[in-house]
Structure 1
Amino acid sequence: MKRILAPAAIAVCLVACVLPGSAQAAPSPYGFSGNSVLTWYVTAGYGACGTQIDARTGLFAAVPATYWTAPEHSDDPLCKKAVRISYRGKTIKVPIGDLCSGCTADQLDLSRPAFAQFENPNYVTRITDATWRFASF
């Protein structure tokens, strides 16, 4: 006897079996859940959240413009959030302090000390296999 799958079962199989390995994960309100890029920077001044930042000494992240929703960045809900970043078995959580206008949806621009938690910024400028998600403080 042949077994015929119902359309709902086929749809579940397509989502569960085919999609995870066939395409890059998409951005979500919770962060990027695929391989993502980490870079670092060293500017100082006022960040997008309206507070003083110094990327040479502080621990924080600049999040891609894709995720910002308020017309006035300092009023954006992201300014009250952090990001949880994982790379090679190590996880850190840093506050969001800035917007990265040049970042793609899968990229975070970290302060130099935050990046240094994963790799030595004297030798590495880009990490391509990290993951991150938004988190509360």
Structure 2
Amino acid sequence: MRLARWSGVLTAAVVGLAFGSGTAHADIPIGQPMSGKATYYNDKGYGACGTLIDASSQDLVAVSPAWWTTANPNNDPLCKGISVQVTYQGKTIRIPVRDKCLSCDSTHIDLSQTAFRKFAPLDVGVINGITWKFVK
């Protein structure tokens, strides 16, 4: 679970402009399996894609800044119908990308509370050993 989280259109745009997009990947690796960890969050308001989110009641995922390719995340390809397919202990779910997790590295995803609960109780905090991939 993240303790400090920056979210939203204005913050994400300012961070992107201030620090550039040099760490962004040129392409979203659709279908490429990755291994990593998942945490959860419960933010409400506008996510990085510019839409209203409620991570305490909606299935959604925030991904690392490494995967965002534009300074204005509202226009990013990740916000155009890209989801993440997550597998852990034989269970697989598919959830839409709606937000950016500034504290996540490229293999760490931040699930909404409802999505996280499909794999483990919230008091677990971190699920190590997940596999995930971007899907259209």
TM range (shorter): 0.7 to 0.9
CA contact 1:49–1:98 (8 Å) conserved in 2: yes
Distance 1:133 1:76, change over 3 A: same
Q: TM-score, normalised by structure 1?
A: 0.75
TM-score by length of 2: 0.75
Aligned twin of 1:35: 35
Residue in structure 1 matched with residue 61 of structure 2 by the alignment: 61
| Alpha-carbon separation, structure 2, partners of 1:34 and 1:49 | 23
Paired position in structure 2 for 1:88: 89
Q: Distance in 1 between matches of 2:61 and 2:108?
A: 10
Give the count of matched residue pairs: 108
Identical pairs, percent: 41
Q: Kindly report which structure 2 residues correspond to 1:1-137, keeping only aligned pairs within 5 A, or say none.
A: 29-30=29-30, 33-80=33-80, 81-121=82-122, 123-136=123-136
Gaps of 5+ in 1: 1-27
The answer for unaligned runs of 5 or more in structure 2 is 1-27
Given that 2:31 and 2:135 are in contact with CA atoms closer than 8 Å, whether structure 1 keeps it comes out as: no
Question: What amino acid is aligned across from residue 107 of structure 2 in structure 1?
Answer: D
State the match for 2:5 in structure 1.
Answer: none
Label 1:32 to 1:115 Cα distance change in 2 as closer, same or farther (>3 A): farther
Provide the C-alpha distance between the structure 2 equivalents of 1:100 and 1:31, rounded to a whole number of angstroms.
21
Q: Which 4+ residue blocks in structure 1 deviate beyond 4 angstroms?
A: none
The whole-number CA distance in structure 1 between the counterparts of 2:63 and 2:32 is: 11
3-state DSSP of counterpart to 1:119: coil
> Contact 2:66/2:106 (CA < 8 Å) preserved in 1?
yes
